[in-house]
Amino acid sequence: MKKKLQKVTSGKKEAMKKALYSSFGNISEAIRLLEKEDISVSRQSHYRWLEEDEEYAEAVSSAQDRTLDKVEKALQKQIENGSVQATIFYLKTKGKDRGFTEKQEIDLNASIDPIQLIFND
C-alpha cells in the first residue's frame, strides 16, 4: 500500500511541476489546471513537497527559471518592436549602474515656511 501511495504522490508531483510551468509559477492557477484533469493537489502538499523533497524543490526552481526566461524573451521582443514602455522598464531595472534611475532629492536642511507653501499658488 505504501508503494502505491508513493507512486500516486510521484505522479501528482510531476503533474504539479508541469502545471506550475504552464501557469508561470502561480500555485493557485496550477492547482486549478490540475483540478480540470481530476488531479487533486493542495497548497499544503506543494509546500510540504518543497520542504521534504529536494528533487521536487529543484524542479520547481528550474521551472521558475524557465518561466523567467520566457518573460525576459517577451520583454526583449517588445523592445525590439519599439515599445517605449518596455525599453524604459528594462533600463530602469538593468541599466541602474549606467544612471538609468529616477531619484528624488530632498534637502532636509532647507527651511520651508508652511504658510508660504499654502499661499504660494
Where helices occur in the chain by DSSP H, the ranges are 2-22, 27-36, 43-52, 54-80, 84-94, 114-119
Which residue did the predictor score with more confidence, 29 or 121? 29
Alpha-carbon gap, residue 80 to 109, rounded angstroms: 45
Band (pLDDT 50/70/90 cuts) for residue 35 is very high
Q: Where exactly are the structural domains of the chain?
A: 2-70
Instruction: Decide if 68 contacts 54 (C-beta within 8 A).
Output: no
Say whether pLDDT at 76 is over 90: yes
The mean pLDDT of 48-52, rounded to a whole number, is 95
Average pLDDT, the chain: 86
Q: Output the pLDDT for position 41.
A: 94
Alpha-carbon gap, residue 105 to 43, rounded angstroms: 44
**Which of 3-7, 38-42, 102-106 has the least mean pLDDT?**
3-7
Q: Output the pLDDT for position 15.
A: 95
Q: Output the pLDDT for position 8.
A: 72
Nearest Cα neighbor of 19 from 49, 70, 60 is: 60
